[in-house]
Amino acid sequence: MDKEKILIEIASYCDKELLNTVNSAIIQAEYPDRIHFAICYQGDDLDDYYELKKINNCKIIHLKQSEARGSVYARYLCQSLIGDEKYIYQVDSHMRFVKHWDTRIINQLLSLNDKKAILSGYPPAITPEMLTAPLDDKIFDNPGYGTVMYAKDFRTDVDDSYFISCASKLITKDNPLAYKKNAFIASGNFFTFSLAHKEVRYDTSMYFYGDEMPMSIRLYTYGWNFYNPGESFVYHLYKKEKSKFPGLKHDTMINENKRLKTLLGITKDDVIPPEFGLGKVRSIEDYEKTFGIDFKNKKISDLAKSGDFENVKGN
């Protein structure tokens, strides 16, 4: 039985569910002592912060609400807290874990026989019943369905956007798409070996959208492979109470898009430090050819829109 340490990375912004998320991970783990946390706590209400400080193996970076610089920077700070953990599970701050999730998810990752495997997908939703149930309630005894991420279209938040909007669909355990490769990671449900986070650091010039698609491309060029989970071991609260955060500013989104265009080689409007650039194992062109996405001409194939990469060469 693999009992290596798991580091759970959580970027949180004024989230009242953070403490429940951490406690759920501990209570539901088969081996709680191996669970470690790296948390970026952004907010001025420190009640939960002091409670988290009491938890063993919990490292926290605190930013005042006024100091918050978006989810990407927060995830970058979480990566700075990596120790000797073998595995990393990056999740959001409003989740519920299923019973013995730690053993189950490690077994699922190792079953892929790929030293550069990543399990990722948008998890199923927390139901109202789950939200009010005890963290160890029987409702969490069994994993939820796995999911397949797929491309919807290029975003329209700013002019000439190169960010792709993704969605997901549920799959059953015996579905042929379970454990097959995909083109994207979901930043709130991202389980892999710690080497992935050591090789590919979050780009601090990004703000919000940069924590999924640009990271997917960069990880791919470093040789990492994304797999649809056959089962999902967390549930996600998609409709949560809104914080006081004013949201994305238009200028911020424009700057993110400029950064992405430079990363893709479409323009040279930005200067990207090597630590935030592409890997050398595979190219952008390899990514486009494999998954049917043409960034320059903004074309998304039916393959990418279905997420059905089962028969793609290399899968």
Domains of the chain: total: 1
> What average pLDDT does the segment 5-25 reach?
97
Q: Cβ atoms within 10 A of the Cβ of 184, count?
A: 25
pLDDT, residue 83, reads 97
Asked whether residue 315 is domain-assigned, the answer is: no
Average pLDDT of 84-111?
97
Question: Domain of 243: which CATH number?
Answer: 3.90.550.10
Residue 117 — very low, low, confident or very high, per pLDDT cuts 50/70/90? very high
Domain that holds residue 158: 6-306
Residue type, 216: S
Distance in angstroms (rounded) separating the CA atoms of residues 100 and 239? 26
Is residue 179 a part of any domain in this protein? yes
Taking the C-alpha atoms of residue 196 and residue 225, their distance in angstroms, rounded to an integer, is 10
* pLDDT attached to residue 239: 81
Answer whether residue 250 shows pLDDT above 90. no
- 106: pLDDT confidence band, cut at 50, 70 and 90? very high
Q: What is the pLDDT of residue 272?
A: 96
Write out the two tokens for 43: 């907010």
pLDDT in tens, 144-188: 999 999 999 999 989 999 999 999 999 876 788 888 999 999 999
Q: Can you state the percent helix, strand and coil of the chain, rounding each to 5? A: 30, 25, 45
CA distance 274 to 59: 28
DSSP 303-314: HHHHT--TTSTT
| pLDDT, tens digit, 9 for 90 and up, residues 76-92 | 999 999 999 999 999 99
Structure tokens at 185: 């990671």
Q: Is residue 313 part of a domain?
A: no
| pLDDT tens per residue, range 48-61 | 999 999 999 999 99
312 found inside a domain: no
The pLDDT of residue 178? 87
Question: Is position 297 within any domain?
Answer: yes
Q: At residue 212, what is the residue type?
A: E
> Using CB atoms within 10 A of its CB, is residue 54 exposed (0-12), middle (13-18) or buried (19+)?
exposed
